[in-house]
Amino acid sequence: MTDKDTLAETIESKESDLVDLLGELVAAQTVTGNEAPGQEVIIDRLETIGLEPDVWEPSADNLADHEGYFETSSYEAYGYEGRPNVAARVEGGNGPTLSIGGHIDVVDVTEDEWTRDPWSLTRERDTLYGRGSADMKGGLAAALIAIEALDSLGIELGGDLLFQSTIEEEDGGVGGALSVLERGYVPDAAVIAEPFDLPNVGIAGAGVMYFQVEVPGKSVHAAWGHEGVNAIGNAATIYRALEELDSERKARVDYEPAYQANPGLKGNVTNLNVGTIKAGDWPSTLPSQAILEGRIGWPPGESRAEVRSQIEETIAEAAAADEWLADHPPTVEWFGWQAEPHEVDSDGELATLAKRVGEDVTGRSGSFVGGNAGLDERFYDLYYDVDAVSVGPTGANLHGADEHTTVPSLLETAITIATIAIEYCGNKE
């Protein structure tokens, strides 16, 4: 079996290939709903390695009966046509199988906030800037380089190594990771290269749900405003009640892995946010309706049903305390993201292996972290009883301006993933 120094040297020699590959991926503007350009880059790279990529568009009809399914906002807007997933299998022996990879989609940018071109990888010393450089095209590139290194060293694993590049993780992952698993790519374990700052190992993901509140009013001309009821004012009543619920939950809900790597998250492991409000169409008219849309995220420990009840009861109580809303109550609908939280056993084989290897590769001490963001890993854990952990590079300004990662952390990620594959799958001989 190849020693770890040789493996590390081989991957480090591929630094320019890794950076070039990431540059191609960043240049492919794969905002959720338009993943195909990035998948073409992935397909070409897999074929160059000598693998046969499996490329398919997900089917909402085929997934609709699955417990983890919900209709994503991107599916509602774009459907799944022209939005393929990509998977490939590196044949090994009859031993345990391991999946590696992640998602190709990224969130959109506000270009005037960036000090660099978001769609062109910019290298400044060892820092790499660009949309998706950290979340998570850097991790995808590192996983591909890991496969290339294993191949160039002639390492044949004792079990199959599965690679996947999936769509719409940023919108819930239903057409991506869930579609991959339903297609039959169910491993014994999975490593997703999310930017969890190796040697930290992500073992948990947050529950995430979107909701919409329709708040009624009574429309009249502003000159006779005393005869009407302004829905915006009523919406403010509901907003304040949700703010109070958010504060109460922050004081009550705790989950240590969420702030192991980011102390600022202590006291903020759950978040309820009203992100949009739509009301009115004319300054001289009292609006008859206001629509609030929000998101709630929370760590393992509560179910979707429990959290939904808290929000619905808060809104109902606020309405009941208002003279007009008591007779004209708001309605609540749940849409888009409807994900349960998940947690992998930190004492399990995969988590302990990933942390040990990551610490050995980096020479630093890591922690088991996670629980503050929704992740594709939940599909493996909750519905297929497969341990899935996050092992990936450092990252900053995720979803924000001047998102960036570093070359050393990408190389360390590639070395760690390759080493995990060798140790987990074993050697074919």
Rounded to an integer, what is the distance from CA 10 to the centroid of its chain? 30
Of 339, 359, 383, at which residue does a domain stop?
339
- Structural domain including 65 reads 4-205+342-425
Long-range contacts: 236-239, Cβ < 8 Å, 24+?
237/318, 237/319, 237/322, 237/325, 238/213, 238/292, 238/315, 238/318, 238/319, 238/330, 239/274, 239/277, 239/292
* CATH number of the domain encompassing residue 238: 3.30.70.360
Do residue 370 and residue 274 come from a single domain?
A: no
Taking the C-alpha atoms of residue 288 and residue 302, their distance in angstroms, rounded to an integer, is 35
Residue at which a domain ends, from 339, 364, 390:
339
Q: Tell me 294's DSSP state.
A: E
CB 164 within 8 Å of CB 193: no
Domain count, the chain: 2
Cα–Cα dist 191/150, whole Å: 16
CATH number of the domain that residue 179 is part of? 3.40.630.10
- Which residues of 158-223 form beta strands (DSSP E)? 161-166, 189-192, 201-205, 207-216
Q: Are residues 12 and 144 in the same domain?
A: yes
Torsion of CA 379, 385, 386, 390, to 10 degrees: 50
Task: Indicate if 194 and 308 belong to the same structural domain.
Answer: no
User: Are 212 and 190 in a shared domain?
Assistant: no
Q: Which two three-digit tokens encode residue 296?
A: 């709630």
Taking CA atoms, 353 is separated from 232, 377, 388, 393, 402, in Å, by 54, 17, 12, 17, 33
Same domain, 402 and 389: yes
254 and 364 together in one domain: no
Q: Which residues of the chain have pLDDT under 70?
A: 1-2
Same domain, 15 and 54: yes
The answer to whether residues 176 and 221 belong to one domain is no
According to the model, what pLDDT value does residue 2 have? Answer: 62
Q: Final residue of a domain: which of 311, 339, 367?
A: 339
236 in the same domain as 122: no
Give the alpha-carbon dihedral of 269, 274, 275, 276, to 10 degrees: 170
Looking at the structure, do residues 364 and 332 belong to the same domain, yes or no? no
Print burial letters for 264-276: b (CB count within 10 Å at least 16), e (below 16).
Answer: ebeeebbbbebee
Q: One-letter amino acid identity for 89?
A: R
Q: In the chain, what's the furthest Cα-to-Cα distance?
A: 86
Instruction: Check whether residue 264 and residue 397 sit in a common domain.
Output: no
- How do residues 121-178 score in pLDDT, each as one tens digit? 999 999 999 999 999 999 999 999 999 999 999 999 999 999 999 999 999 999 999 9
User: For residues 48 and 242, what is the distance between their CA atoms, to the nearest angstrom?
Assistant: 53
CB-facing half-sphere around the CA of 55: CA atoms within 13 A: 18
CA 255 to chain CA centroid, nearest Å = 19
pLDDT tens digits, residue range 102-128? Answer: 999 999 999 999 999 999 999 999 999
pLDDT of residue 3: 82
Do 145 and 223 lie in one domain? The reply is: no
pTM for this model (two decimals): 0.94
